[in-house]
Structure 1
Amino acid sequence: MTLKMKMKPLQTLYVTQFLSAFADNMILFITLAIIKQSAFPAYYIGVVQASFLVAFVILAPFVGAYADKNAKSHVLLVGNAIKGIGIIALFLHLDPAVSYGIVGIGAAVYSPAKYGILPSLTKSDHELLKANARIEGYTIMAILLGSVCGGILAQFSLTGSILVCLGLYLVSLLMSLQIPKIAGNATIRYGKEAKAFVNDVAFLLKNRTTRFSLVGTGSFWMTSSVVRLAIIAWVPAHLGIESVDQISMLVAVTGIGIMIGALLTPKLIPARKYYNSFVFGIVMIVSILLFPLISNLYVTIGLLLLIGFSGGVFIVPMNTVLQDKGQRMIGAGKTIAVQNLLENAMMLAGVGIYTQISADGLSPDSSITGIAVILAGFVGYLILQRQRLKLIA
């Protein structure tokens, strides 16, 4: 009976996160359609993506404290409301980068609560790993379906697709009201916490286990963000596919792989052996390096699935150990905020460099090869740390 009561709020959280992430990813491909329709330069999709990431970097010192001070279900509600304002801005024809930037603010507020509430809704390391795997799986499913639906709906009606996004955020907002209101720490002061944020970053980076996780998750999301943008340019060049809906379907294939990998992670990498996840990082690198060599649709689909699968198994164990250890060290919300800062700073750097070199005319093949080499450097670091982590795990 207790287990059922515990699972119900978790299931509500999964649905809330699914709907919110679904809309987040619809917007990117709706924006891609707007860019094509309004004759923006092709590289402007990188500018739009960067505007989304900036909010995470700037707000990182504050959103973790906000998530820990307030009931996390309330924070989820606020995050979705801000995302809705971003959609309204897009509906009113504000610049896509500005509109998506507002959505980014909502996502930055939403994220610490989404992950930070999991330790409160689970009872053990194993349950936390399973909850992480499921929320990651549902998130990737949302990326998959949201990307496809965004591309398809934008082909029929930009206005209609924008209204669908707004509706999804509103439903997600209402669903968050069903998640238990677990009181936060009312004694937290934002000014003090913002000043302490630098110390939190240093504290988590100093610890060998949390540093391993932060490097691993940051390198994964940096790679994913660049590969996603590069594939949007690579598909027309290698496969001759130009339509937004078909490109969105191909990009979403990676999401299928990540979802499968995330859901199978508890069977492949036990929570206490998170340090072995580097193996799947190597598989991801090799898969990415093959892209410049292919021009067949079915081989492309197979590689995208493999990249996604290996990436899913690579990231979930590191997320789990970071949340478990970080909650005990500095608090769940602040841990996720530090993670968001480092991940999004790395993503912003990757997207920024990609946007600049795309504007300068460098080919998607070069971008894809370059990001694989950078990921290899990070995975190499993880391999060097593995033996020491085995001794303290």
Structure 2
Amino acid sequence: MQQKLSNQSSVHSRGFYFFLSAQFLSALADNALLFAAIALLANMQAPEWHQPLLLQFFVISYILLAPFVGAIADAFPKSNVMFFSNTIKLIGSLAMLAGVPPLYSYGIVGIGAASYSPAKYGILTELLPPKELVAANGWVEGLTVAAIILGAIVGGIFANFSPQIAIIIISFLYLAAAICNRYIPFVPIDHKLNTKNPIYLLKDFFISLKKLWADPLGQLSLAVTTLFWGAGATLRLVVIAWAAFALSFGLDKATMLTAMVALGVAIGSVIAAKYIKMKDAVNILIIGFFMGVLVCAMIFLSSWQSAAFNLLLIGIFSGILIVPMNALLQYRGHKLIGAGHSIAVQNFSENLGILILSGAYTFMVKHSLPINGIVFIFGLFVALTMIIALIYYEDAGK
């Protein structure tokens, strides 16, 4: 199946198409499985606060494995790492189907996702020449957004009909992704592990973490992207609960509302790529304030049309904000600690943000706070945090 790559390919090569297919199918399955697991918990009459707990079981692997997965992805052929990562995801999905509690089985999927991430980002530079990387990243990000949107819709519809059928379909998606991985060309290893000592890897990781957080612009970009991913992941669960309360929506319709945010992010990303430069990253922090205000405004909405438009705007503002912040983070990370270490630190920080914010949401649900109160607190936190960041980092932007 796998062929050795003697020269770098192009975005029109067969190997790159198999990479894109594997990435799309795996991301589609990841997003659909979340909603299938939520439906399964509801059918089991599990406590409501178990639903946001799913996210914490998923992202904990990103945090615990962050010091090691980047080094592993560099030390082995990345197509093989992606294959075994998708196999782990498939095992987690089948475990859920076999009756293993959704929290634990979704945690197994998280292990596969954590090991998949650095291999996915790193393989592009090995497969393609530098002049093709911008186009390749455009394809990857575009298909990832499509997978998020379709995963939410397809996962919600099938899970509403039957969570078990949804999980069977998702398992086949993981299997198809793993098969595609086997057709990605074999790239010779060019980064051997200097040491297999986990203590050394831990120390090396935390030195990089400290260095990037100590840099004013690195700290700014990490803080904003951490808030963005933490808020974005938690917002998906908040919207589902809010739609059930305010609009009497089931899971199938509520997931369509969450897809509006992803669509907005795609639109905002295009706007940012065309009109906003990296040097303006600090100046656009005010957009984050308005994003928080729009979240607060959800408590006054009573129709699905106004909710969909509001969530689309939240997504657009998010996309406009995150693109220059990601560019700034990549630039400072590459200069200070190197691209590989930067990805590891970014994954660690962003998933720690998801863990903390989804944990706060779990705490509020467990203690029976009304959903409108949770929505307002969530939006107020985003708005105030962005205002504080704008004031605090104003000098750094200069």
Q: Is the 8 A contact 1:119 1:324 kept in 2?
A: no
Aligned to 1:301: 308
Q: Summarize deviations over 1:13-34 as a string: whole Å, max 9, x none.
A: 4432221111011111111211
TM-score normalised by L of structure 2: 0.89
TM-score normalised by L of structure 1: 0.90
Distance 2:88 2:340 in 1: 19
Q: Summarize deviations over 1:253-302 as a string: whole Å, max 9, x none.
A: 21211222224431132345444442432332221121111111110000
CA RMSD of aligned residues (A): 2.5
Distance 1:159 1:202 in 2: 44
- Cα 1:67–1:334 change in 2 (3 A) is farther
170, 173, 176: which is aligned to 1:168? 173
Is residue 156 of structure 2 the alignment partner of residue 151 of structure 1? yes
Distance 2:267 2:299 in 1: 25
Is residue 73 of structure 2 the alignment partner of residue 67 of structure 1? yes
Distance 1:317 1:114 in 2: 21
314, 321, 324: which is aligned to 1:314? 321
Tell me the CA shift for residue 196 of structure 1.
1.4
- Cα 1:203–1:178 change in 2 (3 A) is farther
- The alignment covers a number of residue pairs equal to 387
- Cα 1:279–1:232 change in 2 (3 A) is same
Aligned to 1:211: 219
Structure 1 counterpart of 2:246, one-letter code: H
Q: Summarize deviations over 1:212-269 as a string: whole Å, max 9, x none.
A: 221111000111122211111111211122x221122222221211222224431132
Q: Summarize deviations over 1:320-368 as a string: whole Å, max 9, x none.
A: 3323442443333322121111111111111111111111110122222
139, 144, 158: which is aligned to 2:144? 139
Structure 1 counterpart of 2:313, one-letter code: L
Aligned to 2:95: 89
202, 213, 220: which is aligned to 2:210? 202
Aligned to 2:363: 356
Aligned to 1:224: 232
Distance 1:275 1:136 in 2: 23
Distance 1:240 1:65 in 2: 47
Q: How do residues 1-393 of structure 1 correspond to structure 2 at under 5 angstroms?
A: 5-6=10-11, 8=13, 12-119=18-125, 121=128, 123=130, 131-180=136-185, 181=187, 183-190=189-196, 191=198, 192-241=200-249, 243-384=250-391, 387-391=394-398
Unaligned runs of 5+ in 1: none
Tell me the CA shift for residue 372 of structure 1.
2.0
- Cα 1:317–1:12 change in 2 (3 A) is farther
Structure 1 counterpart of 2:232, one-letter code: S
Identity, in percent, stands at: 35
Unaligned runs of 5+ in 2: 1-6
Structure 1 counterpart of 2:357, one-letter code: G
3-state SS of 1:214 partner:
helix
Structure 1 counterpart of 2:265, one-letter code: I
Distance 1:182 1:270 in 2: 36
Distance 2:321 2:143 in 1: 17
Tell me the CA shift for residue 72 of structure 1.
2.8
Distance 2:326 2:92 in 1: 28
Q: Is the 8 A contact 2:93 2:167 kept in 1?
A: yes
Tell me the CA shift for residue 387 of structure 1.
4.6
